[in-house]
Amino acid sequence: MNFFGHAVIARRKEAARGEVRAEFVLGAMLPDFASILRVRPPHASSHPLREGILFHHATDEAFHGSESFLEFSRQASSYLLERGLSRGSARAVAHVGVELVLDAALAQESAANEAYLSALDAALTNDVQGRITWEGGAHEIRFQQLCQNLKRRGPLQGDAAPELTAERLRNILAGRPRLALDDAGQSVVRDWVVAARPLILSRAPRLVLEVERRLQTASSLER
């Protein structure tokens, strides 16, 4: 699940308990932000941030094991392989691409974008900055720049053009020679986005509920 998806699930969990804490939602996104920066996850000194980080990992496990995600990924992989993508590229797009298209579906919920932007606002305050410790001073600056850039982009758009999604996937995979997309591959991915989006959009609410049920089951087993 991408960082925005984590913000969505975290907000729903918080809303169910009656208070949406921006630091908790931020914590749920922090591991993904570390991956974007290609650095080790930071240490957090506040309870909400630490809770959010733990919730991130639990959510990832619930999401990647969900029937809906596995079905979307299988369908994507088959579509891409049949149209000439290499196995590595097809698997990568079937994973990351499903997450990006899912983000567009989840972005249609205004409360989700509000929680996401509030978490970014929190990340840019001195108080919260002091509760997040990165291994290396430059990483803190880069993290702040990332949050500022995301904040400037504003709410996530629920109607991103398939061409933009395909281009974003190409950029994400560009640093991995065995997974990288050429022009023809990007065109195939664009066609997949067009074909897959209606199903993913229609099934997004069901997927979210499935993830929440899996989280509840895992939590009850840990007690």
Give me the chain's average pLDDT, please: 93
pLDDT at 39: 93
pLDDT (tens digit per residue) in 1-32: 899 999 999 999 999 989 999 999 999 999 99
Query: pLDDT > 70: what percent of the chain?
Result: 97
The pLDDT confidence band at residue 108, using thresholds 50, 70 and 90, is confident
> What's the mean pLDDT in 150-174?
89
pTM equals 0.91
174 has pLDDT over 70: yes
> What's the mean pLDDT in 202-208?
94
The pLDDT confidence band at residue 137, using thresholds 50, 70 and 90, is low
pLDDT at 218: 83
> What's the mean pLDDT in 202-220?
91
pLDDT (tens digit per residue) in 58-104: 999 999 999 999 999 999 999 999 999 999 999 999 999 999 999 98
127 has pLDDT over 70: yes
3-class SS letters over the chain? CCHHHHHHHHHHHHHHHCCCCHHHHHHHHHHHHHHHHCCCCCEECCHHHHHHHHHHHHHHHHHHCCHHHHHHHHHHHHHHHHCCCCHHHHHHHHHHHHHHHHHHHHCCCHHHHHHHHHHHHHHCCHHHHCCEECCCHHHHHHHHHHHHHHHHHCCCCCCCCHHHHHHHHHHHHCCCCCCCCCHHHHHHHHHHHHHHHHHHHHHHHHHHHHHHHHHHHHHHHHC
223 has pLDDT over 80: no
pLDDT at 156: 85
107 has pLDDT over 70: yes
pLDDT at 222: 65
